[in-house]
Structure 1
Amino acid sequence: MSDPNAATPPSPPSADLVLVTGGSGFLGAHCILALLDAGHRVRTTIRTPARAADVRQQLAAGGVDDPGDRLEFAIADLTSDDGWADAVAGCRFVLHVASPFPSSQPKDADELIVPARDGALRVLRAARDAGVERVVLTSSFAAIGYGHPPTDRPFTEEDWTDLDSGRPLSPYVQSKTIAERAAWAFVAAEGGALELATVNPVGILGPVLGPDISTSVELIRLVKEGRLPRLPDVHFGIVDVRDVAALHLLAMTRPEAAGERFLAIAGEVMSAQEVALLIRGHLGEAAGRRVSTKLMPEWMLRAVAPFSRRVRDSLPDIGTVRRATSQKAITVLGWSPRSREEAVIATVDTLPTYHPRSR
């Protein structure tokens, strides 16, 4: 195993060792914090040794200055088989959090689909071969609520995004759906004793620990800084990153979670305008003055779309409301998420400390 710190050798196999893939990411870092707080030892994958410092900086921002020998690093990438056998060695559980999530959609959907699908299968295959008890895969509401005709019914874990509906689906939506379906198919056909659970969050917000921010957090930054003079008429679900991490731990340890999907959302969806109004009110009159709450008419969006990929990507969602429910996670696992408002405000309050770069 590659240890970028080279200070101590990897810890010996233990039933208490958990692998987190993508520990330098927004959700990955919060999962590490939750695991350390729960008393687990953690090994996390990073693509290059230099990323170890990023992980440690985020943990420090989250209140863990020195995890000592309870944190290890392994070099592995979703696009290569190299390193995965060493990464999972001795682990009882795996949280597979790493997945491509671009700030804009690529022209070729395979740029997202291939690493998401093949990366998940690499992790699952290595976990099975190493005797890992359970893998928790971070999927997405994107694998649940798209490609369907308009409905007022809340989506649940029983729903799957319809890739053959003929409705426009972004490369990201396709990648999450294909990757999760491939994971379930692998475990059913070749998984042996390996257990799988998935967590399917909506837009993840909450405390920002470092400069690598998610696409959802980037939207909050743009609104806060007044860089969206007019808002698209879009609606989206919100969940706090700390609660998504907590749900991963519940899905990892609770026996009844094996073989199940768990949708993560805090309450009802919000419109971009509602989010902007919340941010404006929280910042106060002076700082909130630059936050626009004006909607962009659809005709204007369509006029701008040829010149902005971000706007083009949003067009299929204009005016569409996709409701969802986390009743299963609440009832089966006892999950109790923070409010959507708290998630938004926590994001706003932690953004000024950093100079964000979208991942």
Structure 2
Amino acid sequence: MQTGLVLVTGANGFVGKWTVIELLRAGFDVRGTVRSEGRAEAVRSAVAGQLGDAALTRLSFVRLDLMQDRGWLEAMEGVTAVAHVAAQIVAEEPKDPQLVIGPAVEGTERVLRHAVAGGVRRVVMTSSIATVGYGLGHDRGKRIYTEDDFTDLDGMRFTWAYCVGKTLAEQAAWAYARSEGLELTTIHPGAILGPALDEDASISLGMVTGLLDGSTPAMPSNGFSVIDVRDVAALHVAALQQPTSIGHRYLATSDYVPFPQVARVLADAYPDRQITNKIVPDWIIKLLARFGGPTRQIINDIGNEKHFSREKGEALLGRPFISGRDAILASAESAIRLGLLKSKRA
């Protein structure tokens, strides 16, 4: 069993809760950062449901804000490593991009700065494929991206706040790690699906729930690279367990799944539900993207297929990633069980 205390930022999030669970399962002690006691209680409930009440003795919480210095240095006391998981994710492009970019960049800098000040040298950070496969002149056809690829924000015709924030945050993290001798690893998930533990689930689950409850009347034609949240969490743990991961980026993507394929998987699994098969034409997506909104977040994937290599991530994990189909079905099962659908359609 592992030993040591890991500070997990954003412990109450979709990835955060699963990361807490997998760290505890591996034998680490965990101190989670949350914004309120209510969110801490949600993490406790999730942990107890997966591991039993005994695991709660190795779990504690601190109330912190990514945008304020107060409390961060104290939170690093006794910590051997940091899993920086916290992120600001929104379903639609905000009118003020800094609402997303600020916490991503400033929050990352604050966590790393206080880690170094507190004597913590080891950090595993949740990044994204948004920092890998954009602005590189890929407008049509299929391309496979690897950990050696870096998003070029200057090369993008349409940026979106999440992509900008994550890219700038990763750039800042690597620069700071080099200057301070920080032992950094970054994990780069695709669209995160898989089982929700409670109603505080990933926005990506909306791809599934919207089809199940009919709130998505038509879908775009593009696809996305899927990863199960359990694999994302397991990669964070594996990185902490394997010193050879220091200084490396790891893509966390399983299968490339076109949106219509998601609909077919759900229609086969839930034949009593009326899953739409209507497709929004690409030209409409391109037109709407000029005005922001949710289409702005997918416009760069229209007309091309962005695939991401899985070899390095699976080697770190020591097993294949959970399939895209299984991640989709796990999302659906948990959403139905937890009552996350907007309506019940038969």
Number of residues of Structure 1 aligned to a counterpart in Structure 2: 339
- Contact 1:247/1:335 (8 A) holds in 2: no
Distance 2:199 2:168 in 1: 29
TM-score by length of 1: 0.89
> Which residue does 2:194 correspond to in 1?
206
Candidates 252, 267, 276, aligned match of 1:264: 252
Aligned to 1:252, which of 240, 261, 272?
A: 240
2:174 aligns with one of 158, 179, 184: 184
Q: Give, in angstroms, the shift of residue 233 of structure 1.
A: 1.1
Separation in 1 of the partners of 2:292 and 2:104?
26
Q: Specify every segment of 5 or more residues in structure 1 that has no aligned partner in the other structure, as ranges.
A: 1-13
Deviations 1:14-45 (A, max 9, x none): 95111111111000000011011111111000
Which residue type is aligned with residue 311 of structure 2? Q
Report what 2:329 is aligned to.
345
Percent identity of equivalent pairs = 38
Pair 154,282 (structure 1): closer, same or farther in 2 beyond 3 Å: same
The structure-2 alpha-carbon separation of the partners of 1:335 and 1:186, relative to structure 1 and needing over 3 Å to count, comes to farther
1:221-236 pair list within 5 angstroms: 221-236=209-224
How big is each residue's C-alpha offset from its partner over 1:104-134, in whole Å with a ceiling of 9 and x where there is no partner? 1112222211111111111111111222231
Alignment partners' CA distance in 2, 1:147 and 1:305:
16
* Aligned twin of 1:327: 311
Code of the aligned partner of 1:68: L
Supply the AA of the counterpart residue of 2:242. R
* TM-score, scaled to structure 2: 0.92
More displaced stretch, 95-104 vs 65-74: 65-74
State the Cα distance separating 1:302 from its structure 2 match.
5.6
Q: Secondary structure at the match of 2:154?
A: coil
Task: Give the Cα–Cα distance (whole angstroms) in 2 for the partners of residues 280 and 63 of structure 1.
Answer: 33
Give the Cα separation in 1 of the matches to 2:128 and 2:75.
Answer: 24
Partner of 1:41: 29
Q: How much has 1:63 moved relative to structure 2?
A: 4.2
Does the residue aligned with 1:124 lie in a helix, a strand or coil?
helix
Q: 1:89 to 1:15 in 2, by over 3 A?
A: farther
Equivalent residue, structure 2, for 1:158: 148
How far did 1:303 drift?
Answer: 6.7
Does residue 1:147 correspond to 2:135, yes or no? yes
Question: Distance between the aligned counterparts of 1:338 and 1:312, measured in 2?
Answer: 29
Matches of 2:283 and 2:84 in 1, distance apart?
41
Which residue of structure 2 lines up, in the alignment, with residue 277 of structure 1? 264
Match of 1:102 in 2: 90
Quote the Cα distance in structure 2 between the aligned partners of 1:75 and 1:36.
20
Give the one of 7, 17, 30 matched to 2:18: 30
Aligned pair in 2 of structure 1 residues 304, 146: CA closer, same or farther (>3 Å)?
closer
Q: CA RMSD in A?
A: 2.2
Classify the secondary structure of the residue corresponding to 2:267: helix
CA distance in 2, matches of 1:80, 1:241: 28
Distance across 2 between alignment mates of 1:117 and 1:157:
21
Rounded to whole Å, the distance in 2 between the matches of 1:273 and 1:178 is: 32
The 8 Å contact of residues 57 and 210 in structure 1, kept in 2 or not, is answered as: no
Given that 2:134 and 2:300 are in contact with CA atoms closer than 8 Å, whether structure 1 keeps it comes out as no
In the alignment, the residues of structure 1 paired with residue 316 and residue 199 of structure 2 have an alpha-carbon distance, to the nearest angstrom, of 35
Query: Structure 2 CA distance, aligned partners of 1:146 and 1:52?
Result: 36
Q: What letter matches 2:34 in structure 1?
A: I
Measured after TM superposition, the shift of residue 306 of structure 1 is: 8.1
C-alpha contact 1:88 1:127 (8 A) present in aligned 2: yes
The secondary structure found in structure 1 opposite 2:251 is strand
Uncovered stretches (5+) of structure 2, i.e. residues with no partner: none
Instruction: State how far apart, in whole Å, the 2-side matches of 1:309 and 1:332 are.
Output: 37
> Structure 2: how far apart are the matches of 1:229 and 1:294?
7
Contact 1:257 1:333 in 2 (8 A): no
Structure 2 Cα separation of the partners of residues 127 and 332 of structure 1: 24
For 1:3, the equivalent position in structure 2 comes to none
1:23–1:46 Cα contact (<8 Å) kept? yes
Aligned residue number for residue 73 of structure 2: 85
| Conserved? CA contact 1:196–1:258, under 8 Å | yes
- CA deviations 1:297-320 (Å, max 9, x no partner) are 234446766898224543343233
Deviates more, 1:250-259 or 1:317-326: 317-326
